[in-house]
Amino acid sequence: MLTTIAIGFLFKMVWQSILFMVVYIPLRSFAGGYHAKTQSRCYFLSIVLTASVLLAIKLIPGTNFNVIGLALTAGIIIYALAPVEDANKPLDETEAAVYKKWTRVISAVELCTMLLMMALGVNGVSLCISASMSALSIMLVIGKVKNS
């Protein structure tokens, strides 16, 4: 968490780094996705992921088309794939159903929040939510490929 905020300071995007964590962590907790084999690799990949998301937020124009396009694509991937389990933490049938339900609830809340912020003209927040969900969808795809 401190590392993410430090990266936010480096990019001059502190609130975006905090919002990224607020959006990403609850969704990731239930959706799963790629898991690194070692703690140090996980830490390194987390740094790369955070920097990539912040860079995307900085470079992608926050138009309604871009925000909705990213969110729609991410939402479809999350809906279709989650939860993506890890070999080290397989889910039984009941757990998978519960995780799928919570992933969909959290995604829906985040998407509604994104749309509300867009309607209020706060496209920076909308883009941040959309980019964070997109990052998670990429982690799901990578995790699914890794498990194949």
Q: Determine whether 94 is exposed, middle or buried from the number of CB atoms within 10 Å of its CB (0-12, 13-18, 19+).
A: exposed
Whole-structure pTM value? 0.94
φ, ψ of residue 132 in degrees (nearest 5) = -65, -45
| 129: nearest Cα among 92, 75, 89 | 75
pLDDT in tens, the chain (148 residues): 899 999 999 999 999 999 999 999 999 999 999 999 899 999 999 999 999 999 999 999 999 999 999 999 999 999 999 999 987 778 999 999 999 999 999 999 999 999 999 999 999 999 999 999 999 999 999 999 998 8
Residue ranges covered by each domain of the chain: 2-147
Q: What share of the chain is helix, strand, coil (3-state, %, to 5)?
A: 80, 5, 15
On whether the CB atoms of residues 143 and 33 are closer than 8 A, the answer is: yes
In contact, 74 and 134? CB cutoff 8 Å: yes
